[in-house]
Amino acid sequence: MPIYILISTLTDEGRKTIKKHPERIEEVNREIENMGAKVLAQYAVLGQYDFINILEAPNNEAIAKLSIELGSRGTIQIISIPAIPVEDFVAKMP
pLDDT in tens, 36-66: 999 999 999 999 999 999 999 999 999 999 9
Alpha helices in the chain (DSSP H): 12-20, 24-34, 60-71, 86-92
In the chain, pLDDT over 90 holds for what percent of residues? 99
Going from N- to C-terminal start, the domains of the chain cover 3-84
Q: Is there a contact between 79 and 13 (Cβ–Cβ < 8 Å)?
A: no
Residue 40: per-residue pLDDT: 98
* 28 vs 33: CA distance, rounded Å: 9
Q: What is the DSSP letter of 13?
A: H
Q: What is the DSSP letter of 36?
A: T
CATH superfamily of 3-84: Ribosomal protein S6/Translation elongation factor EF1B (3.30.70.60)
- Read off the pTM: 0.90
Q: Residue 94: pLDDT above 90?
A: no
Q: Is there a contact between 72 and 2 (Cβ–Cβ < 8 Å)?
A: no
